[in-house]
Amino acid sequence: MRPLFSTLLGTLLIAVLLVAPACDASMALDLDEGWEYRWGDSPFLANGTPVWVAEPGDEAEWRPIAFPSNPPGRDDHQHAWFRITLPEGEWRDPVLYIYSVDLITQVWLGDERIYQYGLFDEKGEGRFEGWPWHMIRLPESFTGKTLHFRVFSDYTDIGLWGEVKLMEHMDLLKYVLERSAADLVASAFLMLLALLAFVFAVIKTNRQGFVAIGLFALSSGIMLLAETQASQLLLDIPLLWDYLAAAGYFTLPVAMGLMLEHWFAKRRPILLRRIWQFHLGYVIVALGLAMAGIIDLSSTFPPFDAVLLASLVLMFTIIVMHLGVLNGEQKLIVISYGLFALLLVVDMAVAHGMLAWRRVPLNVGALGFALVIVMISLWNFRHTQDELQRLNHSLERKVAQRTRELEEMILKLQGFPYEDALTGLHNRRYFDEMLEHEGAVARRNETPLTLAMLDIDHFKQFNDLEGHEAGDTVLIGMGRLLTHHFRETDAVCRMGGEEFGIVMPGATTSMAQARLAELMDILSRTRFRYDGRVLETVSISCGLASYPDHADEPMTLIGFADKALYSAKHHGRARIEAYS
């Protein structure tokens, strides 16, 4: 849809520039004087012509007005008529441009109806059809004639709104496109930002923050696109664009509340949550009732404006009260939010007639927000890349250092006998040197280290009963079982007799207990054989101690693990005890 939109709009702009190179929008004539109004609705002749158009009647009923909008003394009036005598001049393809009308209108030139927006029933009333801009084609003989506007509105405003200009047709198209360009650029940029924010919300951990940014960018982008006049050239369905504009406008405080709640999460911002939840409910209820035909979409804007103003005051009061807990990036985003909110308030004041009509540059506020987000994102990206580069260098240095240490250790170990002759496991000398080395590594890198001491239960009795050769078979089988069960990084050693030690770098107490529990379960189902017969099942007692959980110095783990092993034997054997 977006590529199609850009292509069509670009083609239209090029066509206008090529077809009308001599057009000059400065030739537009503002119709800002000579207007008159009267309240009520005209009766109609049998041929359908309004009496107030065909028969002048009482001219005293017509009163002068500076601009054909919101005449004084409205009270409960929902019908008003406005008229102006069109000026003299030479025009090739004249049109009358009106920025907007509240709410529906018929336009009469003399006794001929030349334009109608909305459907009037027999009572002269009708439903809201949207707020488009209007282009009314005028006949060549329009000069000096009186133009009448019949208007119905049950909205807070009644009449024409914004601008009324007499100009050439091609000048009007250029005028609309030129004043829509900035909004279209801002809208496209915001929607791209929204897409990126939602992607990051899926792949990053800071989901609520990215969702809030994406929602704000998407809602403001949709609002700008829907409210820009060029959208009507693309798709002439005013009510659809007004629904989109309402959806974007109504969603803005939801995004702002989500963002602020995320920033102040540690302070339990219940009020902020209630604000965005209320606005989310308003979006659903207001648009739902309007689409169901229960209310007019136009009636949803005045109450929302009042609630939005109160919400903005509350949110920025909270920001001021907790400004100290925000970091520099968040303060910058708040400033951009504040600029956009200020422009929204100004636009709201213009819409309700509190300020003279002007085009409020909402795109400036939206683009300011988007540029702040982009700058912060680029800075964070660069900072992250620098941190990753420093981390890579640090890791490379640590790997090189560890490699050198291992090489030195291997060279040192090659000069001594470190293998137990019976089981093929490492011996006590290897155990002592490995514990010293891994203890130094654990202390330097602040990583855990666990030492486990194992002892075969009642092994002397087993030897007396089965014989020493059978006992050696059990020791060999136990060595194979331990080698296969523990990690390659663990050092499995025979300490002497039926006692074994395991040095487990990086393992915590709970990890070692789980690994030993699995070993005891496997051993309970293991049957050793000697001389063609199955030997009695053996069990083991285990004691373990961990650095830094149990010891401030890794080398003290031996004594602590021995004490834990003694405790396991004392409490019935065939069990695991951690030092305490």
pLDDT per position as a tens digit, 183-202: 888 888 888 888 888 888 88
Mean of the pLDDT values across residues 498-524? Answer: 94
Report d(CA 162, CA 97) in Å as an integer. 10
Average pLDDT for 87-91: 84
**pLDDT score of 522 more than 50:** yes
pLDDT in tens, 411-456: 665 645 788 889 989 999 899 999 999 999 999 999 999 999 999 9
- Whether residue 6 has pLDDT greater than 50: no
525-531, long-range: CB < 8 A, 24+ apart: 526/477, 526/481, 528/473, 528/474, 528/477, 529/473, 530/466, 530/469, 530/470, 530/473, 531/469, 531/470
pLDDT at 377: 65
Each residue of 101-154: pLDDT tens digit? 998 999 999 888 999 999 999 899 999 888 999 999 998 888 888 999 999 999
Q: Is the dihedral angle over the CA atoms 49, 54, 57, 61 positive or is it negative?
A: positive
Q: Is the dihedral of CA 312, 313, 316, 321 positive or negative?
A: negative
Which pLDDT does position 477 carry in this prediction? Answer: 93
| Pairwise pLDDT comparison (368 vs 575), residue with the higher score | 575
Asked if residue 302 has a cis previous peptide bond (ω within 30° of 0), the answer is no
Residue 408 — very low, low, confident or very high, per pLDDT cuts 50/70/90? confident
**pLDDT confidence bin for 380, thresholds 50/70/90:** low
Measured on CA atoms in the order 172, 173, 174, 175, is the torsion positive or negative? positive
Check residue 101 and give its pLDDT.
94
